[in-house]
Amino acid sequence: MNSDDRHNHYDEEEDVEETFVDDDDVADVVHYEGEEGDMAMDDEDDEEEEGEGGERSEILLEDDSVQGFFAHKEPVFSIDLHPTQQNLVVSGGSDDRAYIWQLDTGEQIAELSKHGDSVSAVGFSSDGSLVATGGMDGKIHVYSVDKREQCATLDGPDEIQFIDWHPKGNVLLAGAQDASLWMWSLPTGDFMHVFAGHSAPVTCGRFTNSGRNIVSGAEDGSLIVWDPKTAAIVRQFTSQDERFHQGAITSLAIARDDQVILTGSVDATAKLVHVNGTILGSLGNATESVEAVGLCDVLPLAATGSVDGSLSVWDINTMRLRTTLRHDDSVTRVLWHESSPMLTSVSMDSSVRTWDARTGECVRVWRGHQAGIMDLALTRDGRTVVTASDDGCCLVFSE
């Protein structure tokens, strides 16, 4: 997340069960009566809603959600699902607050300590024992999930752009506006390393799936592979190579075997690189910044989402465009379903869409938000989506 604008070797296809969902969108009719305690509307809006004879007109709102969480009141930037207790959600936003809440009821479980600025990143540890919140105040708060107690406050970097937990241990990584990455051991909060190599804000990063390396991208257009044990640079790609990005990197994804990395950039391209230092190719059909990328873990497919509303699916064996799907506004996040060719995307057009990447069919559209969606999380079975939006709400959509 930027401080000024919150916009993260397969040869044969395996048989995967197809899932198709009927379109059973629900529309609710909401009456604004203007009574005390009802939603406040300004005079101009009131006038627009009054028909001839002063009668109040009806506003038709689509809401396909099955549950929601509404405590934030201001834009929500980040959301995550507990890895084992998938009924637990953590969310954080521009109200400087983070909450743990229940997926099925929307009930608030815990209000976490307030940050001094917007909460830009949240996440449960890989075993679910801890949860962390990172803020634009440069602080990270870490809590015991079971005890609901804060166990550490981490300082060091300035504005936190992202956080990521090690896949096999309670080690936390954070990227910052000051071009650095930091790593701590939890729950003690012991400082482990600072990673220096970028020359501009670190916009995205994560541990590899094995946990043996760290990959990060920055506004200077550089992509770095790190050794987490020594904080040494293992591999680096920069804009000095004209084949690589010529603008800020916005997002990255890592293949299941950790050998291939996909990056998106404001230069309207995505790049596919190998960890051995080879630039495999450029994926470039977008007309504006590529803000979201993802790699399928069962087929040789990549997805790139752009500010121009396009969601492109690529064959990474041939580096050819397979299909272009569309939202009505900027694509903000994409997630491939676990062990599936299904893909879910969210957008500033306020919709959640699930696609079958093999055919390009949109098998589900969910609506309910009144502003753009900033983040999403999926249950492991891919049947439930939880979203964070600019409208200050978190919504739950389920098949």
- The reported pLDDT for the residue numbered 156 is 86
Closest by Cα among 255, 299, 317 to 14 = 299
Whether 248 and 211 have beta carbons less than 8 Å apart is answered as no
- The reported pLDDT for the residue numbered 61 is 77
Residue 391: count of CB within 10 angstroms of its CB: 21
Tell me how far apart the alpha carbons of residues 325 and 355 are, in angstroms, rounded to a whole number: 9
Instruction: Return the sign of the alpha-carbon dihedral for residues 323, 275, 235, 121.
Output: positive
Q: What is the pTM of this model?
A: 0.84
- The reported pLDDT for the residue numbered 63 is 95
Tell me how far apart the alpha carbons of residues 331 and 372 are, in angstroms, rounded to a whole number: 10
Strands 140-144 and 180-185: unpaired
Tell me how far apart the alpha carbons of residues 59 and 32 are, in angstroms, rounded to a whole number: 8
Rg of the chain over CA atoms, in angstroms?
Answer: 21
Q: Measuring CA to CA, how many Å separate 200 from each of 77, 117, 167, 252? A: 22, 21, 27, 16
Query: Which residue's entry shows tokens 């992202």?
Result: 162
**What three-state secondary structure class fits 342?**
strand
Q: Which two tokens stand for residue 99?
A: 């909450």
Tell me how far apart the alpha carbons of residues 165 and 388 are, in angstroms, rounded to a whole number: 20
Omega cis (within 30) before 187: yes
Strands (E), 38-189: 59-62, 67-69, 76-81, 88-93, 98-102, 108-111, 119-124, 130-135, 140-144, 149-154, 160-165, 171-176, 180-185
Whether 187 and 170 have beta carbons less than 8 Å apart is answered as yes
Amino acid making up residue 205:
G
All residue ranges of the chain with pLDDT < 50 are 1-57, 59
- The reported pLDDT for the residue numbered 60 is 57
Tell me how far apart the alpha carbons of residues 207 and 7 are, in angstroms, rounded to a whole number: 22
